[in-house]
Amino acid sequence: MRIATWNINSVRIREERVREFLTRSDVDVLCLQETKCTDQQFPDFTDTGYEQAHFGLHSFNGVAILSRVGLSSVKTNFGQPGFDKDLTQKQNLEARAIGANCGGVEVWSLYVPNGREIHDPHYTYKLRWLHALADYAGGRTTKAISADTADEAIEPASDRLCLVGDFNIAPRDEDVWDRSHFNGKTHVTPNERDCLAALEEAGLMQATALIQDEYTYWDYQAMRFPKGEGMRIDLQYARGITATAARVDRDERKGKGASDHAPVIVDYEV
């Protein structure tokens, strides 16, 4: 099974890029993040032979799964916390996660909170979100809190599990172009990296560790892409299936109208 993850940074702007990618990449499952649209605004890709599921509430965040190997048991809640910048208000669930059964594998498209600054409440939210994800993967979650309902029981994660997306964490110092640039900043802190280690403790392996010396994200500012100043923050974690090959579609970051992320593609033996 070939699974790709791609922070598309507005799917309506880049619909044709998605269609062209599906045509040439031969992926079985494509997970998108930062679709930046509501469910009603999400483009219809079913004419390409892929089923689709999308979770979007506003013109920011948003996640989707496109699958040609089946798509069922869709869910958007694994027990993660919500967030509102006004901490006195109800912390509603954000459109950052969608999961589904795709060809016998439970696949999640994840857009992990950025964290903003180390002393920002969003950083604490990021860590809590990732702790909940590790709890879910490890079978330690029994309740899910949604924006609209009271606590509800959720099913445990499958033995065949694939968590993919924009994790907003560089696993190693080598995964950023200049470690000193990130001193005192998010994405490289021990607390964030401990959250990735917790996924491995839950039995998942970082499939994208097969990719060496390749970045997946280059900021639009300061000409980061031409300068080769990137980060490896788009990751895939899996258990019950074995990664056999992985690559970054760096060419997709080129040209006018490209997302600031490149697709990350992994082949699995299921």
122 is in an annotated binding site: no
pLDDT class for 212, splitting at 50, 70, 90? confident
34 is in an annotated binding site: yes
Q: Are strands 105-111 and 161-166 parallel, antiparallel or unpaired?
A: parallel
Q: CA–CA separation, 105 vs 202, rounded Å? A: 17
Q: Is 166 annotated as ligand-binding?
A: yes
* Tens digit of each residue's pLDDT (9 = 90 or more) over 109-143: 999 999 999 999 999 999 999 999 999 999 986 55
- Residues with catalytic function: 111, 166, 261
| DSSP category for residue 261 | B
Q: Please write down the long-range contacts of 141-145, taking CB distance under 8 Å and 24 or more positions apart.
A: 141/78, 141/79, 143/79, 144/77, 144/78, 144/79, 145/77, 145/79, 145/81, 145/82, 145/93
Q: Is 7 annotated as a binding residue?
A: yes
Predicted structure pTM score = 0.96
Provide the pLDDT for residue 150: 45
pLDDT of 249 strictly over 60:
yes
Mean of the pLDDT values across residues 77-105? 95
* Domains contained in the chain, CATH given: 2-269 (3.60.10.10)
For the beta carbon of residue 142, count every other beta carbon within 10 angstroms.
Answer: 11
| Predicted confidence (pLDDT) at residue 25 exceeds the cutoff of 80 | yes
Residue 236 above 70 pLDDT?
yes
Task: Judge whether residue 246 has pLDDT over 80.
Answer: yes
Looking at the chain, the whole-number percentage of residues with pLDDT higher than 70 is: 96
- Tens digit of each residue's pLDDT (9 = 90 or more) over 168-204: 999 999 999 999 999 999 999 999 999 999 999 999 9
Q: How far apart are CA 113 and CA 174, in angstroms?
A: 22
Q: How confident is the model at residue 85 (pLDDT cuts 50, 70, 90)?
A: confident
